[in-house]
Chains A and B, each alone.
Chain A
């Protein structure tokens, strides 16, 4: 039996108020692809930061070979042979491929000159191994995302890598590009490198990994052999107590059609999209990142101009030219990026919640602060938002409470159509089921709700009907009775699935 390249023993990391990692232990063998799974917020990224030397653990040890090692910083981690392929690429776009690969360690000649010849020679030998179609002098900004990722991988190959960590590497790759990536991973594996593969995509995990370790709420849940487990079992370990994800068709009467979209297109982003949503109904949108779901929501909210097609509200054709316009027509959007698009983190809870209606909450020329507090109190109670008071800065709240502030903000506008993009991204399990219940309740109260999600159990759980999108087109619309996981996956992968509205 060989020794593991990397062993984590009982790693503990606490931040003020949070135990982010609580006794995580697993080991990576040479030539193994080891998946690390867990929901958002389970501690994967903290663990990676500990491995990468960005955080120091409060307890436990990282062992390489026989000796515990201390990662003082990213450089030291790299020197010890631990290399990261980040989700957000860390490249300098204006520089060449070679300069990026050897960033921070360009070969020198006299007078501090860069030794271009040596640099090109080394780079090309690495690029040859990867079998890519660009050369050392190409500007990185001119490469596709997939090729930029190859540059990151090439960077990993410059050191004598013992362990390579891939963080959601396929998030923005096409299928063909994925094949290339998996080939590279197979090569790395064959050369005896240990690989940690972080991903949410079950099909990839089951295709390429040997073992799976699972984290939940900072705690290590165990390691299983991929060949001996099932998706259900892994999901169960990830979410712990069984999240109620039963199907959920509405039992109440549906109202009239609140929103209808006919043949809507927006350049290359999506085309010929048609659907409708009734009052009292939850319409789910499922598809991969980049399938065009968010872009449709943004169009409905006046943030993008459609190139053709019609939008009808209550049967009447409308042109929505700005968010203010959309709000006036009763459309609300809970955006996908909570911190970037949903909240002004430096503002307090109350001010964030009343932001879309500042012009309506006036007492003379001034803000009617009493009315604002009343609105905040109402939705704090209704949504069970846990905060010391309205004066609390939103940036200090937990993800779940932040999301409830955003939802409260839009509910207080009493919209006709509520669009929720990734309602539970980065939120703990408890808040998740609360938000799911809330979405169902809203439909029952007569709201027309559109839910966009990348998590299949979530869409299946909350939706009455599901629109499956692939590459800017609607592949199929399912009712909750007819939908199966297989047919849904096929539809969003562009396989099968007849085009039916």
Chain B
């Protein structure tokens, strides 16, 4: 075995091992602690889990791309909320009154377009000003949220369209609409990252930016496209989620960036860019959702979930570091 092979194997497989561990733990612990007498690994329950993973999961796929590219996007939660408002509010606009149910695709397109534009705006600023993506998206996280609140103050924005709700609640081949979207997005992003020139260039940029520049890869447009993609996915996530719920609070989507980044890091994407893939991220998303559901199953409340997620994120960092230590010979700096 080559040096480092163990750590690599552990890393690539770790997330799935962790999921198995979680399943076993919650199934057994659930026998003793659960308030309901339903088993944890119930088929229905697992289907529901996939569906509930969708909002975070769809955005996490975009975050994988952005982080592999060497950037980060903290504004996804706010973009999510803006897209939700555009979706629900535009369906009530008088100019669309004559469209009947045809308003649905129009509203969807509007929401997706807004998300894409906001993402592209982040990307454009990162590209043209050279300000670090962390600061740019930290700023727009505030700014986008401000826009959300300016729209309707602290009141929720609501609109239920029953056709839409039916669509969102539908099941096809046993899977919910949201699950199909999650799977579709995962597949699409896998294709983009593993198979297209754009995706491979994104890896190269995140791995060795100078080499990429010298090889003539245009770093700016690639970054901007990736930000546009994550903006689009944040909006898609909102579209999928709010088609069903029909009501958005101005605080919705807060801390999504945390969940999303946690899922991506759990899934093995390198924080500094250049390495990672959506399959790992998919595992990370499932692991987090399992944890939320499992803790609920054994009677823990949301506060425990927050605590555990935070600590797990840190534990993953510690583990990663321990696996990468070269031993006593290492320079102590």
A and B touch in the complex (CB under 8 A): yes
* Partner of A99 from B200, B213, B328, B329 at Cβ < 8 Å: B200
A103 contacts B212, C-beta separation under 8 Å: yes
Given known contacts A94-B203, A104-B217, A267 and B329 CB-to-CB distance under 8 angstroms? yes
Which chain B residues border A106 with CB–CB below 8 Å?
197, 200-201
Q: What chain B residues lie within 8 Å of A64 (beta carbons)?
A: none
Q: Contact at B197–A92, with CB atoms within 8 Å?
A: no
Question: Considering the chains assembled together, what is the distance between the CA atoms of A90 and B328 in angstroms?
Answer: 29
- B211 in the interface (beta carbon within 8 A): yes
Say whether, besides A93-B207, A104-B212, A113-B195, A267 and B274 are in contact (CB < 8 Å). no
Contact A92:B328 (CB < 8 A) given known A103-B211, A104-B215: no
CA separation between A359 and B332, bound complex, in Å? 21
By a CB distance below 8 angstroms, the chain A residues around B208 are 90-93
- Is B100 interfacial (CB-CB < 8 Å)? no
Q: Does the CB pair B331–A303 fall under 8 Å?
A: yes
Please, how many angstroms separate the alpha-carbon atoms of A268 and B328 in the complex? 11
Query: Please, which residues of chain A bring their CB within 8 A of the CB of B129?
Result: none
Quote the shortest CB–CB distance from A109 to chain B (angstroms): 9
Contact with A along B166-202 (1 / 0, CB 8 A): 0000000000000000000000000000011110110
On chain A, the residues within 8 Å of B131 by CB distance are none
Contact of B197 with A298 in the complex, beta carbons under 8 Å: no
Does B59 count as interface, using CB distance less than 8 angstroms?
no
Query: Assuming the A-B contacts A90-B211, A90-B214, A104-B216, are A114 and B195 also in contact, with contact meaning beta carbons closer than 8 angstroms in the complex?
Result: yes
Which residues on B sit within 8 Å (CB–CB) of A267? 327-329
Q: B328 near A103 (CB under 8 angstroms)?
A: no
Indicate whether A136 reaches chain B with its CB closer than 8 angstroms.
no
A74 to B214, CA, bound (A): 6
CB distance from B139 to the nearest CB of A (A): 25
B46 shortest CB reach to chain A, Å: 33
For B328, the chain A residues whose CB sits under 8 A away are 267, 305, 307
Asked whether A365 is an interface residue with its Cβ less than 8 Å from the other chain, the reply is no
B214 and A92 form a contact (CB under 8 A):
no
A111–B330 alpha-carbon span in the complex (Å): 46
Which residues of chain B (208-234) have a CB below 8 Å from chain A? 208, 210-217
Verify A95–B197 contact, CB threshold 8 A.
no
1/0 contact string of A73-104 vs chain B (CB within 8 Å): 01100100000000000111111000100011
A93 neighbours in B (Cβ, 8 Å): 207-208, 274
Residue pair B216, A266 in contact (C-beta under 8 Å): no
Any chain B CB within 8 A of the CB of A269? yes
With A93-B208, A99-B204 given, can you name 7 additional A-B contacts, CB distance below 8 Å?
A92-B207, A94-B275, A95-B203, A104-B201, A114-B195, A304-B329, A322-B332
Chain B residues engaging chain A, CB cutoff 8 angstroms = 2, 195-198, 200-201, 203-204, 207-208, 210-217, 274-275, 327-333
A-B contact pairs, 24 of them (CB 8 A): A74-B213, A75-B216, A91-B211, A92-B204, A93-B208, A94-B275, A95-B204, A95-B207, A99-B200, A103-B211, A103-B212, A104-B216, A106-B197, A106-B201, A112-B198, A113-B195, A114-B197, A267-B328, A268-B329, A302-B332, A303-B331, A303-B333, A307-B329, A322-B332
